[in-house]
Structure 1
C-alpha cells in the first residue's frame, strides 16, 4: 500500500534515530516522543565526537595486546599497542577539549559510568607499556589514572540508580585498574610501596562489585548491546589484580599490617576467576540464544571482558602452575582476537557510512 508523504518522513526519522543510537551508544528520543518544547520532527544532529563509551576501544585493544605479548606474539601485540596509544591520545584530546570548551557537557558525561572507561583505559595502557620496560611512563599513567579515579568515581557513584546496564560495573573495573598496574610495577626497586596501595584498590574493587550488583538490570543479559559483558569482565580484572599481587606480597613488607593477607588474596583470586568463567559461559549462552549482530560502540565493552578473561586465566595459570588453565587462556585469547577483528571491522564500516 503506498505511503503518504508524512509516513515516509516518519520512517526516515526512525531510521536516522536508529543509526544514531548504534553509533553513539546514547539514547535518542523516539519519534512522537520528543522533549517538551520541541517543535521539530528532525532527528538530533550526530555528535562530532565519540561518547565516553568509546574508551572501551582502548581497553579492549590494550588488553588483547597484553594477551598477545604474554603468549609470544610480539609483533601483533606491538601493532595493537600502537593502535591503543593512538586511540588513547585521540580520546584524551576529546576529554580536554570538552573540559575547556563545553564544561556543562563534560560534567554531564562525568556523572555516568562510561566516563570511567578513561580510568580503566589509562591503566590497561600503562600495564602494557610496563611490559615493554617503559616503567616511568607506566608510573606516570598510574598517577594520572588515580587522579581521574578520585575526580570521577564519587560523581558516578552519587548518580547510580536501580536497573542500570552493565556499565555500572565500571566502578569496579576502574578501581581494579590501578591495582593491576600498581602490582605490575611493585617488584621494581623503589616502588615496593605500591604493593600495599594495590592491595587496597583490589579489596575496594571487590567491595564495589558486590555493592553495585543489586543495581544491575539482569534483563540486560538478554537485551544488552555490548556493555552487559562487563558483569563478567569486572570479575576477570579482579582476578587478574589478585594474581598480580600474589608474587609481590610480602608478609614482612608493605602489607605486614594485614596478617594472612596472602592467603586471603589467593583464595579470593581463585574464586573470582571461577565466577568470571561462569559469567562468561552464561553470557555466551545468552548471545547464542538471542544473537545481537548490529554494530554498537558498546560492543568494545564485550571485547574487553573476552580479552580480560583470557589474560586472567594466563596470569593465574602462571602463578598457580596450572597447565590446563594456560591452555584455556590461549583458547579464550584466540576468541578475543577474533572478536576484536570483527568489532573493529564493523566500526570502520559504520564510520564510513
Structure 2
C-alpha cells in the first residue's frame, strides 16, 4: 500500500500514525472484520461479537478521517483517493455489512451496502486511472472492493429478490477481470520483498472464491449456471491456496519479522482464505475444506494477535519484532 506523508499540514506537527490512518485503519478493519465472520462460522459467537465491535470502532475512526479529509483538505483527500489503499474503505464497509447481516441486522447491512455502492465507483475509477504499471500488492484491492460488494449483495438477495443476486454475479465477474488486470501489473518481486500488502494477491482470490460460494448457495441459479459456478468456485479456492503457499514460502525466503503497518494487509488474506474455505465447504459439501478452514482460521487469529502486539509496541515507543 502507498503510505501517506508522515506529516499533516504545513506545520509538520501532525503525528505520523494519523497521516497513515486511512490505509492502516482500512486494512485493520478488514482483518478484524473477517476474523469476526470466521469465528461466527466456527461457533465462537461471543468472541466474534467482540471482534465485530472492535472492527466497527475502527471503521468509525476510518470514516471520520475520510470525512475530515474530504471536507477539510480536498487536495490531500484527492491524493489519497488516487491510491489503491483508498479502496479499503469500500472493502471494509462490505465486510462489516456482511457480518451485520449474519447477525440478522438487515437494515444495518443494507445501509452499509448503499454506502459502499455510492463510494465504490468514484474510488475505483480514480484508482484505475492512476494505477502504475509495476504495482505493489495493494493493486489487488480493485478486486477486493468489487468482490466485497458482490458478497454483501448476494447475502442480501433473499431480502430483495433475485435481481440483487444477478447484480452480485455481474460484480463477481467484473472482480475477476479487475484481478487479471492487477495481476498483469503486479511486481512479483514483492513476494519476497513486500512489507505486507503483497498478500492481497492471495486475499483477492480468496474473496473471489467466497463470492462464488455465496452465489452458489443463493438459489438463483440452476442447471449449467450452477455447475459453472461450482467449478469456478473450486478453481478460485485452489488458486487462492496456491497463492497462500507461494506467499508463505516468500516469507521464509526473506524473513520480515519487524512490525509494519502494512502487516494488517497480511492478516486479512489469512482470515479471508479461512472463511472462503469454510464457505465453500458449506456450499459444496466437501467436508475436508471445513477442517482446513478451521485450521487456517486459527493461523489468522495468531497473526492478528502478533500484529496487534506489534502495533501496541510501536505506540509505546518500543521496537517490535513481530511480523
User: Where does residue 118 of structure 2 map in the other structure?
Assistant: 147
Contact 1:230/1:302 (8 A) holds in 2: yes
Closer/same/farther in 2, CA of residues 307 and 89 from structure 1, 3 Å limit: same
Answer with 1 or 2: which has the greater Rg: 1
Alpha-carbon separation, structure 1, partners of 2:250 and 2:20: 28
User: Where does residue 207 of structure 2 map in the other structure?
Assistant: 237
User: Where does residue 30 of structure 2 map in the other structure?
Assistant: 59
Alpha-carbon separation, structure 1, partners of 2:44 and 2:14: 44
User: Where does residue 59 of structure 2 map in the other structure?
Assistant: 88
Q: Does 1:116 align with 2:100?
A: no
User: Where does residue 312 of structure 2 map in the other structure?
Assistant: 348
Structure 2 unaligned blocks of 5 or more: 7-11, 318-323
Alpha-carbon separation, structure 1, partners of 2:55 and 2:135: 28
Alpha-carbon separation, structure 1, partners of 2:55 and 2:211: 21
The alignment's TM-score, normalised by the length of structure 2, stands at 0.92
Cα shift at 1:46: 2.9
Alpha-carbon separation, structure 1, partners of 2:285 and 2:234: 13
Alpha-carbon separation, structure 2, partners of 1:280 and 1:47: 29
- The RMSD of aligned alpha carbons is 2.0
User: Where does residue 128 of structure 2 map in the other structure?
Assistant: 157
User: Where does residue 38 of structure 1 map in the other structure?
Assistant: none
Alpha-carbon separation, structure 1, partners of 2:157 and 2:55: 24
Contact 2:113/2:152 (8 A) holds in 1: yes
Alignment deviations for residues 43-62 of structure 1 (CA, whole Å, 9 cap, x no partner) = 99736343431200000000
Match for 2:216 among 226, 243, 246?
Answer: 246
Q: Does 1:198 align with 2:135?
A: no
Q: Does 1:136 align with 2:107?
A: yes
Cα shift at 1:211: 1.6
Contact 2:5/2:19 (8 A) holds in 1: no
Alignment deviations for residues 200-249 of structure 1 (CA, whole Å, 9 cap, x no partner) = 10000001101221100000001001000000000000000000011114
Q: Does 1:50 align with 2:20?
A: yes
Number of aligned pairs? 311
- What is the DSSP-based 3-state SS (H/G/I as helix, E as strand, rest coil) of the residue aligned with 1:187? helix
Instruction: Map 1:91-110 to 2 at 5 A.
Output: 91-110=62-81
Instruction: Map 1:1-353 to 2 at 5 A.
Output: 25-26=3-4, 46=16, 48-54=18-24, 55-188=26-159, 190-251=160-221, 260-353=224-317
Higher helix share: 2
Closer/same/farther in 2, CA of residues 45 and 313 from structure 1, 3 Å limit: closer
Contact 2:136/2:186 (8 A) holds in 1: yes
